[in-house]
Structure 1
Amino acid sequence: QCDKAFSLNSNLITHQRTHTGEKPYQCSQCDKAFSQNGDLIKHQRTHSGEKPYQCSQCDKAFSGKGDLINHQRIHSGEKTYQCSQCDKAFSLNSNLKTHQRTHTGEKPYQCS
Structure 2
Amino acid sequence: MGSLINFPGRQYVSPSVLPSVYTPARIERMGQLNDVSRQVRALGYRVVAEDPFPNDEGKPIIQLDTGAIGTRPLMLLASCSTRDAVLGVERVVIDGVRVFWFMGEA
TM-score bucket (shorter structure): under 0.3
- Structure 1 length-normalised TM: 0.22
> By percentage of residues, which structure has more helix?
1
Structure with bigger gyration radius: 1
> By percentage of residues, which structure has more strand?
2
